[in-house]
Amino acid sequence: MVVPVSGSPWVRLGLDPVTDRLTLTTPYTRPEPDTSRFTHIDYQSVVSDEDDVGELTVTVPEGGLHGVYGLLTTVIDEIQLHGRTLAHSLAVALERHQDVLSTRGALPIEAEVGLFGELLLLDHAIRVYGAVEAVSSWQGPLGEEHDFTLPGTYLEVKTTIGEARRHVIHGLGQLVPSVDGLPLHLVSVQLTRTNHHDGQTLSGIVASLRASAAAVVFDLEERLAGAGWRDEDADLYTTSWTLRSWPRAYLVDDSFPALTPRRVSAVVPDPHLISGVVYQVDVTPLPHTPLLALPGFVEDKEH
């Protein structure tokens, strides 16, 4: 359904209930609107026999019809009543209707690097165990205590782009071994930026894993979403990463420098009043160990 809106310049408002889209069409003007930051809004210029037009299309979020309609009527008012360009009108409308559409945005660099490191390990685990067992072992995004649960061990994957293996630990419980007695290893991954030929983007490794995990791709998707991945932001990840050094594994035992509730309670009065603990640990000088549960991923030589 297309509804002409009276006024000058002319504006048409189209509604497609099948695709849940509203489209505003008006004569083409420069500059063109920049909609790259928005998940549900797109712009294109169309050359026709009669006129060059600009089309602003909004995909209506569930329950958001009235909000989107209000956004577009504001755009129309700015064009027809104030003589503004489509780009200017959209900017004004978005300022007034900030709650209508979600903006696009890549993960913060620390989160991008962290997810990349976990996916590197997952990729290797698929080659060792197969997709079904490897994907099910990735437990961190499901809210479990540790990132991976592999035969005989738990893994906490930490990734850095620094020259030292200095990693951020969130909370007093992150490096606490499980109550079932299985060992916990911290896997240290160091990345560095590289060109597209020698490395991989986060989007690239996600696509590769989807192909490898075809049989359990829905389980993989659930975990990717839990880790903060969104398909609509895939093009925002343009940095290619490669390993700076061979990953290393460190056994988290009584000699490992970790803050835990037991250790804190031994020296701090009223430890239950402490919350939100974040600290860094530099594992560079610590002895590392082979990782029998994942052969070939970490440096095997003990040091």
Q: Is the pLDDT of residue 35 over 90?
A: no
The predicted pLDDT at position 99 comes to 62
User: What share of the chain in percent tops pLDDT 90?
Assistant: 70
Mean pLDDT in residue range 176-184: 90
The predicted pLDDT at position 49 comes to 66
Q: For residue 179, what pLDDT band results from cuts at 50, 70 and 90?
A: confident
Rounded Cα–Cα distance for residues 90 and 33 (Å) = 7
Q: Is the pLDDT of residue 28 over 80?
A: yes
Q: Torsions phi, psi of 163, nearest 5?
A: -75, -30
Mean pLDDT in residue range 13-24: 89
Q: HSE on the CB side for 262, CA within 13 Å?
A: 7
The DSSP string of 83-145 is: ---HHHHHHHHHHHTTTTSPBP-PPPHHHHHHHHHHHHHHHHHHHHH-HHHHHHHB-GGGT-S
The predicted pLDDT at position 63 comes to 67
Mean pLDDT in residue range 129-154: 95
What does DSSP assign to residue 72? H
The predicted pLDDT at position 101 comes to 62
What would the pLDDT profile of 232-274 be if each residue is shown by its tens digit? Answer: 889 889 999 999 999 999 999 999 999 999 999 999 999 889 8
Q: Is the pLDDT of residue 227 over 70?
A: yes
Mean pLDDT in residue range 209-237: 92
What would the pLDDT profile of 86-132 be if each residue is shown by its tens digit? Answer: 999 999 998 888 766 655 678 889 999 999 999 999 999 999 999 99
pTM of the model as a whole: 0.70
Rounded Cα–Cα distance for residues 89 and 75 (Å) = 5
Q: What is the residue-averaged pLDDT of the chain?
A: 91
Mean pLDDT in residue range 211-215: 92
How do the domains of the chain map onto residue ranges?
A: 2-96, 109-282
